Amino acid sequence: MGFLHEGHLSLIRESKKTCDVTIVSIFVNPTQFGPSEDFKSYPRDVDRDNMLLQSEDVDFLFLPSTEEIYLKNFQTYINVEHITKKLEGEFRPTHFRGVSTIVLILFNCVQPDYAFFGQKDAQQLAVIKQMVKDLKLNVKIIGCPIVREEDGLAMSSRNVYLSSTERKEALVLSNSLELAKKIISSGEKSVNVILSEMNQLISKTPSSKLDYIKIVEADTFEIADELKSDEEYYILIACKIGKTRLIDNTKIRI
């Protein structure tokens, strides 16, 4: 959605390693924002984005208008079932319908062979993979690792909303994930115990308001109660720091 940072640029670099031609789409998508969310205030700077894309030697920028994407009397949406009902879907009920719809529209416009998405939006990545599989789309989805600031904060366009104090307090997200990994590496397999320790750490941060912490099976996004050997999981967190809602996660293998 633009306001590019190093996380976005890492996707571009991965594309350039894999593909002959790299196209970047920038579109702040109104249908994935809820009524009380930050669509109007979402950070935008197309001139800056364009300079960054030129510095990365991107071949094309696809910058459609809202009117081009959503024609008058638009009424067709893509709804991926089940996986969208929990976690982000619980707190943002129309979000994934908007995501799936715009991604399919962009795929139809550009017709890429590969599409690169960041792991920071892990549930979004899973939803897109499910849509591509179910609708038999001829595109390969590549998930790319989270890119973090030096202190561990996951890069996000919304980080610019944070005050200097909130910026420091936002580290509780990545710190809680590191705590979880430490507890798991000590042999703990009870999800309740792990999440309880994370919750205690987050509750000590004055500006935090937790939406959820969950551990899910990496492939299915089913909620886990007990960690099993030789399985992969995501530890997922969504938390408001002041008025800014941030998400983060880490992928683990037991």
From the list 5, 8, 82, 95, the catalytic residue is 8
Sign for the pseudo-dihedral over CA of 215, 220, 225, 228: negative
- Cβ-based burial of 175 (10 A; exposed 0-12, middle 13-18, buried ≥19): middle
Active site residue 8: yes
- 214 vs 12: CA distance, rounded Å: 30
Q: Is 240 in a helix, a strand, or coil?
A: strand
Which of 57, 157, 71 has its CA nearest to residue 109?
A: 71
According to DSSP, the residues that pair with 239 across neighbouring strands are 210, 246
> Is the Cβ–Cβ distance between 93 and 80 less than 8 Å?
no
Continuous H helices in the chain: 6-18, 46-55, 66-69, 88-91, 95-110, 122-134, 164-169, 171-185, 191-203
Q: How many CB atoms lie within 10 A of CB 216?
A: 22
Q: Is 141 in a helix, a strand, or coil?
A: strand
Active site residues: 8
